[in-house]
Structure 1
Amino acid sequence: MPADLAVIGLGPFGLPLAQAAVAAGISTLGYRTGPEPGSLSPAELRRMLSGGFRHATGPAELGRVRTAVICAPTPRAADGALDLSQVEAAARTLAERMRPHTTVILESPVHPGTTENFLRPLLEAGSGLVAGRDFHLAYSPNRVDPGNREFTPGNTPKVIGGLTPACTESAAAFYGRLTDKVVRARGLREAETVQLLETNVRHVNIALVNEMAVLCHDLGVDLWDVIRCAETKPFGFQAFRPGPGVGGHAVPQNLTGGTGRSLRLVELAEQVNSQMPRYVVQRAAALLNEHGKSARGARVLLLGVTYKPDLADQQGTPAREIAVRLTELGAAVSYHDPHVPSWSVLDRPVPRVDSLYEAAADADLTILLQHHRTYDLQGLSVKAQLLLDTRGTTPTGAAHRL
């Protein structure tokens, strides 16, 4: 049975798109590009299946769709560049079966120029079709914010940039079925650079407040009170908050592919953010020492090991490095997370505690890494012998803040 849409890649980028498409009444086919962390609850899966979603039984089905959106992950490779291997595999699989008049859209995070210089040749060589003449080619930055209940695909504006004006309009017509507002970029590279700018703005601003957190601790200043006051300014200020590190699937991009140039501010932001797990461990060791305890042999409980609150996603979570560094200091590390039933670091399982309050009372130090809504921070602050809050969410004076 033909589908209107094929979502190629059902991880954190593709799965929300597939859900939004089904909710909009679009017959949707899902095609996996490899092991992907995206997951659905049984209730969500039932809703999608009843709404017209189905998993592809084979690549041949990709040749019977009107629109194909590639949402394959692009993690950072060992050399720091984006790994496009899954995008390449998706393109080759699609190209072998693609029919004329198909609209192909890339949503994976990529460097500017990737859609035209990397994806286009793969599609044309594999299909024998010409982009802009025989099929439409476009790019749209992925703006998924996992767990955000206020901004969904339906009310988040979608940026579109096509190889030709006709390509832009074809992609805009598709996304117009999903969202209230479509924004047309001048072309492919402009749309790709929107994604680069949006991702880097997040990382640069988090780096700024992370540096402020270190400075304010040295000065004896309550940074969270500073942010509370600063965000009352009705213009020129957007509040970002510090934390133990930056996780997520969209990595900062400081190399503007093909130009030989790097974004120095983004590079510096990466350095700042990458130092935060080490800083958390330094603060933890200092707190233990101030209370007459050594990190060696200390019982340390980590609360929340995911990269975002109320989600099970562990992509890029700083909790891993923090656990490794604490273990290297000789601490006995355990964890609690209502969304993570088991957790391993360096291929070794980390003990999971079941009784949260008893574990906090028994631990020499409890570190809040992620504030899941199920955590009663007031109660935890009473039970814990020593509590380090890296998110600034405990009541004032109830814990040591980052």
Structure 2
Amino acid sequence: MSHHPLAAELLSAIESRRAKAAVIGLGYVGLPLAISIARAGFTVMGFDIDASKIDAIDEGKSYIEAVPEPILRAECEAGRFAATTDFLALADYDVIAICVPTPLTKNRDPDLSYVENTCRQIAKSLRPGQLIVLESTTYPGTTQDVVKPILEQSELRAGEHFFLGFSPEREDPGNREFETSTIPKIVAGDGAEASALMQAFYGAVVMTVVPVSSTATAEAVKLTENIFRAVNIALVNELKLVYDAMGIDVWEVIDAAKTKPFGYMPFYPGPGLGGHCIPIDPFYLTWKSREYDQPTRFIELAGEINTFMPHYVLEKLAEALDRKAGKALSRSRVLILGLAYKKNVPDIRESPSLKLMELILERGAEVAYHDPFLPEIPRTREYGHLKGRRSVEWSADTLAGFDAVLIATDHDTIDYQQLADCCPLIVDTRNAMARRGIAGEGLGQSNGPDGSAANHPTIVKA
């Protein structure tokens, strides 16, 4: 550590837990982070423009599964955590973490408006001796080229008056094996003092800190992690199309392949990509790469394959209805099972189920959904016209009223046996029925060996 007086003073405050922290953006990343910082012994203030989140926190109610209400209440009652919409209070805090969305525009370009607006708010009250950290996923160079210039409009200089760092969030909603404090934390600072402060602060909050040489490197780490997943998911999605044409079950292939103890890692196909990171992050790198005249054909092809999957599922659904029920999709009633982008969470961000619902409606069919985690479709940027639709009740009578059920998300709480008992046609994009040992017939095999009607539904893997 250098002898920079402001850095030394902040380091002392961090080590003694006298430093006060602010977390901007109290969603799936910000709220778990804020609670982890508070549990480490720091005083934390959460900031968000959504007053309903502040009201929920004031009432001791958690809206994020990763933050149990007893823990939230305990930190609030101990005086270590509170929340506000008053951004002018930021001047009171020594460490400020930015955890706001970084979506794409309609043209699939990075939308950094949330980051930029947040930095402008911070700049209004920026004071010497603060550490500002960006956690939002973004392209390499954002911390240096976007965040730093906006903050320096305050006439304070990074490395001289305040300190700047980047530490990418690595949350995995619904994963009960890891929490914020147990996920290794990548950290980087703008200069030696900022790097040391980043390591000291996050080292007090999480079990393992992984320092890297620059903020651009840290930004690239997060993109690499999610591009790896996006490309491999695209690969198995493409294999699904090829093997389906050959009459081969891709799920059986994957199950057999993963018995190899080396050289193979299983990824699984689905109806498309969901979540904030994997469908979006690759395009942050492809956009930035144009600045260097570097093609990203492999990444872009993966994006095309994954984006195509809802359309493939739609055609499988239409074909199944025609062959099983002799009914056009436009005259059918379809139930989408699961609206969240992954099982056992209420997270709807970039969910392919929303795209499937839109495509089915465009074909003239009636469509409803059931999701035990999402009683109503909230407001979304791309699917505002679906807002307010409510999950239908789960009952034998309800299920029997649909011509087909499309399993888009395989929540564990669903009674799949009842689904099989009540529904004549199930289009399964998650292999949910087979994984539970529930038998079904293929298309054209709806009769038993004696010519009588079989008791199994028709199950189509899509």
TM-score band by shorter chain is over 0.9
State how far apart, in whole Å, the 1-side matches of 2:415 and 2:314 are. 23
What is the identity, as a one-letter code, of the residue corresponding to 1:14? G
- Displacement of 1:157 in angstroms is 0.6
Q: Does 1:7 align with 2:23?
A: yes
1:401 aligns with 461
Q: Does 1:303 align with 2:337?
A: yes
| CA spacing shift, 1:180–1:346, aligned 2, 3 Å | closer
For residues 64-84 of structure 1, the C-alpha deviation after alignment (integer angstroms, 9 at most, x for no partner) is: 112111111111013322111
Q: Give the number of equivalent residue pairs.
A: 400
Q: Secondary structure at 1:261's aligned position in 2?
A: coil
Q: Does 1:322 align with 2:356?
A: yes
1:224 aligns with 251
Equivalent runs, 1:58-97 vs 2, <5 Å = 58-97=86-125
1:117 aligns with 145
What stretches of structure 1 of length at least 5 have no aligned partner? none
What is the identity, as a one-letter code, of the residue corresponding to 1:7? V
2:456 aligns with none
Task: Choose the corresponding residue for 1:31, options 44, 47, 67.
Answer: 47
- Displacement of 1:39 in angstroms is 3.0
Q: Secondary structure at 1:96's aligned position in 2?
A: helix
Equivalent runs, 1:173-184 vs 2, <5 Å = 173-184=200-211
Q: Which segment drifts farther, 96-105 or 184-193?
A: 96-105
Q: Secondary structure at 1:168's aligned position in 2?
A: helix
2:288 aligns with 256
Q: Secondary structure at 2:181's aligned position in 1?
A: coil
Query: Does the 8 A contact of 1:256 with 1:262 survive in 2?
Result: no
Q: Secondary structure at 1:150's aligned position in 2?
A: coil
Equivalent runs, 1:127-142 vs 2, <5 Å = 128-142=155-169
Task: Choose the corresponding residue for 2:242, options 196, 212, 215.
Answer: 215
Equivalent runs, 1:260-299 vs 2, <5 Å = 260-291=293-324, 292-299=326-333
State how far apart, in whole Å, the 1-side matches of 2:206 and 2:384 are. 42
What is the identity, as a one-letter code, of the residue corresponding to 2:269? P
What is the identity, as a one-letter code, of the residue corresponding to 1:314? I
Query: Does the 8 A contact of 2:35 with 2:72 survive in 1?
Result: no
- Displacement of 1:57 in angstroms is 5.1
2:274 aligns with 247
Q: Secondary structure at 1:193's aligned position in 2?
A: helix
What stretches of structure 2 of length at least 5 have no aligned partner? 1-17, 54-61, 441-458
Identity %: 36
State how far apart, in whole Å, the 1-side matches of 2:320 and 2:249 are. 17
- Displacement of 1:361 in angstroms is 2.2
Q: Which segment drifts farther, 83-92 or 25-34?
A: 25-34
- Displacement of 1:262 in angstroms is 4.1
2:174 aligns with 147
Query: Does the 8 A contact of 1:357 with 1:383 survive in 2?
Result: yes
Task: Choose the corresponding residue for 1:380, options 419, 422, 427.
Answer: 419
Task: Choose the corresponding residue for 1:19, options 24, 35, 40.
Answer: 35
Structure with the greater alpha carbon radius of gyration: 2
State how far apart, in whole Å, the 2-side matches of 1:106 and 1:67 are. 11
What is the identity, as a one-letter code, of the residue corresponding to 1:123? L
Q: Which segment drifts farther, 279-288 or 156-165?
A: 156-165
What is the identity, as a one-letter code, of the residue corresponding to 1:167? A
- Displacement of 1:94 in angstroms is 1.1
What is the identity, as a one-letter code, of the residue corresponding to 1:70? I
Q: Secondary structure at 1:347's aligned position in 2?
A: helix
Q: Secondary structure at 1:394's aligned position in 2?
A: helix
| CA spacing shift, 1:35–1:266, aligned 2, 3 Å | farther
Q: Secondary structure at 1:159's aligned position in 2?
A: strand
Query: Does the 8 A contact of 2:110 with 2:287 survive in 1?
Result: no
2:186 aligns with 159
- Displacement of 1:351 in angstroms is 5.7
- Give the TM-score normalised by structure 2: 0.82
Q: Which segment drifts farther, 256-265 or 34-43?
A: 34-43
For residues 320-375 of structure 1, the C-alpha deviation after alignment (integer angstroms, 9 at most, x for no partner) is: 22112212222111111111112375525546321343222221100111111211
Query: Does the 8 A contact of 1:160 with 1:171 survive in 2?
Result: yes
Q: Does 1:364 align with 2:403?
A: yes
Q: Secondary structure at 2:23's aligned position in 1?
A: strand
What is the identity, as a one-letter code, of the residue corresponding to 1:331? A
- Displacement of 1:180 in angstroms is 1.2
Q: Which segment drifts farther, 54-63 or 303-312?
A: 54-63
Q: Secondary structure at 1:275's aligned position in 2?
A: helix
Q: Secondary structure at 2:188's aligned position in 1?
A: strand
Q: Secondary structure at 1:255's aligned position in 2?
A: helix
Q: Which segment drifts farther, 130-139 or 279-288?
A: 130-139
| CA spacing shift, 1:384–1:48, aligned 2, 3 Å | farther
- Displacement of 1:167 in angstroms is 1.1
State how far apart, in whole Å, the 2-side matches of 1:164 and 1:391 are. 47
- Displacement of 1:317 in angstroms is 0.8
What is the identity, as a one-letter code, of the residue corresponding to 2:422? K
What is the identity, as a one-letter code, of the residue corresponding to 1:50? E
State how far apart, in whole Å, the 2-side matches of 1:384 and 1:367 are. 11
Query: Does the 8 A contact of 1:10 with 1:36 survive in 2?
Result: no
